[in-house]
């Protein structure tokens, strides 16, 4: 499990923000734990989730990455992204014509 997945699981277990911050800091800075992902936006995401958002940590993490990289449009099945005023979710589904593939052997 990644760091933000761990924090989401703890949030579902009704752990308070202090506990989440402590777990985050331990996982992100521990010399005994190797994290194979970028932790650049975790603190900002945790703060945003705790103080400014009413959606899940995963969506907030995506939003923070999108916002900090100046991305304006995304495609997503998740309509929670419509809660964020700085990005536009492209929600139209493009239909693709079914093509029969032939085996040439």
Q: Print the domain residue range for 44.
A: 3-90
- Residue 49 within any structural domain of the chain: yes
pLDDT in 10s for each residue of the chain, 105 residues: 467 667 877 888 888 989 988 988 888 888 777 665 556 788 888 898 888 888 888 888 888 888 887 888 877 667 777 788 888 877 655 444 444 444 443
Q: What one-character-per-residue DSSP string does 21-42 give?
A: HHHHHHHHH-SS----S--TTH
Is this structure's pTM higher than 0.75? no
In terms of Cα–Cα distance, which of 29, 28, 38 is closest to 69? 38
Residue 104, in any domain of the structure: no
Question: How many domains are contained in the chain?
Answer: 1
Strands 88-90 and 73-75: parallel
């Amino acid at each position: 499990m990644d760091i933000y997945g761990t924090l989401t699981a703890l949030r579902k277990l009704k752990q308070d923000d202090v506990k989440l911050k402590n777990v985050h800091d331990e996982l992100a800075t521990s010399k005994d734990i190797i994290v194979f992902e970028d932790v650049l936006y975790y603190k900002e995401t945790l703060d945003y989730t705790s103080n400014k958002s009413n959606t899940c940590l995963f969506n907030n993490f995506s939003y923070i990455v999108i916002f900090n990289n100046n991305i304006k449009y995304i495609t997503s099945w998740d309509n929670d992204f419509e809660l964020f005023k700085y990005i536009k979710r492209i929600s139209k589904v493009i239909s693709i014509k079914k093509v029969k593939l032939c085996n040439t052997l």
